[in-house]
Amino acid sequence: MTNSIKVLNDKCVGCGQCAGACPFDAISTVERSEHPKKFKLAVIDLNKCTYCGTCVQACNFNAIELAKDAHQAGVDKSEYKGVWVYAQQRHGEIAGVVYELLNEGKKLAKQLGTSLSAVLIGDNIKSNAQDLINRGADKVYVCDDPIFIEFQDDPYASILTQIIKKEKPEIILMGATNIGRSFASRVAARIYTGLTADCTSLEIDPETRNLQQTRPAFGGNIMATILTPGHRPQMATVRHKVFKEAKVEEGRKGEIVDCKVEVATLVNRTKFLGFIKDSSSNINIDDADIIVAGGRGVGKAEGFELLEELAEFLDGAVGASRAAVDSQWIPYSHQIGQTGKTVAPKVYIACGISGQIQHTVGMNSSDIIIAINKDASCPMMQTATYALEGDLYEIIPNIIKEIKSVRRD
């Protein structure tokens, strides 16, 4: 039985409640001159409908009927094959997390006995396809059109949804970046499947082919493993720096598929005004080998000027805990932790950070952790490779002084 939803003509009064509730603008009302009371009739556009059931709940007259299997219950899993990685790019530059996902995706595809594909969406970006093949993709779906010159949720979600419905992949992986978090859920809703966010581990159950998606839960106090047993594809967003990057194999062979983009089918409810690059740091904390991070113990916004000075001498980047960001001492783009970025630098210098699990989950893969804090008993000081007990406003100037002295010599 296929997806099915219908309006019951004898019950519908054309009140428009369903049209107002529909998140996909898939319902309209039309005149019914033949109706004794001239009631209008709700009409559902099946090209836009995702069978989410919102209209059924909104109708006070039980005039919309949704088939029990319309949400993919009993989906034929044998139709879904392949592991896909969404190849996030901005202004032609592939995000680092994509290479990490290709590495992990290759392992998953091998366990499933299937292929690994990447989906590349943008404007004038076909030249990047070979880079993805060199990193392990067997096939790259390229959607190249000026409408994708800047990331916008609606057109990106629409085109990816179209390709998924046509090709039916078994697994789709995206980076848990601002972009990935923004539109992965939109895609999952349109194809009515599950989505697990911010995963830190992925495994395959060989018997069921279910993707075991593990992520921190309850404030990071436990690790939850989530399955999507009744739906396909299985979707997950994965944090940056969780997996190793795929190695480059120059000249590797693969297939590049040009996807036809019918712009008229892509609804876009927003207008792109401009792109403002964050100029608060010269080095992206995602890629930094050394990070100097500040927390509540920094005490004030001016304190981050000291941290920035130390980071500059070390050719590093400045990070922050959520407490510092919430206090508006530094922009959110610097936040590290469960609700920020995941980093794995060679050296992580934690200044005035107590070390709650919500923060450490985002930096505990650092090679060396140096903690500076007045409280010797706080978690960060206990787990650090090197712990410096004292006032950061005394310790950091002395470190900078020593660095200057060494460089003069």
Predicted confidence (pLDDT) per residue in 87-99, tens digit: 999 888 999 999 9
CA of residue 73 relative to chain centroid, distance = 26
Q: Tens of pLDDT along 302-335?
A: 999 999 999 999 989 999 999 999 999 999 889 9
Query: pTM for the whole thing?
Result: 0.70
The whole-number average pLDDT for the span 256-269 is 86
Q: Looking at residue 1, what is its pLDDT?
A: 38
For residue 339, is pLDDT > 50?
A: yes
For residue 68, is pLDDT > 70?
A: no
Q: How confident is the model at residue 53 (pLDDT cuts 50, 70, 90)?
A: confident
CA of residue 396 relative to chain centroid, distance = 35
For residue 75, is pLDDT > 80?
A: no
The whole-number average pLDDT for the span 7-29 is 93
Q: Looking at residue 236, what is its pLDDT?
A: 96
Q: Tens of pLDDT along 115-142?
A: 999 999 999 999 999 999 999 999 999 9
Q: Looking at residue 407, what is its pLDDT?
A: 72
Lowest-confidence segment of 3-7, 11-15, 124-128, 257-261 by average pLDDT: 3-7
Domains of the chain: 5-66 (3.30.70.3270), 77-264 (3.40.50.620), 290-408 (3.40.50.1220)
Q: Tens of pLDDT along 175-226?
A: 998 899 889 999 999 898 999 998 989 999 999 999 999 987 776 667 899 9
Q: Looking at residue 279, what is its pLDDT?
A: 62
pLDDT mean across residues, the chain: 89
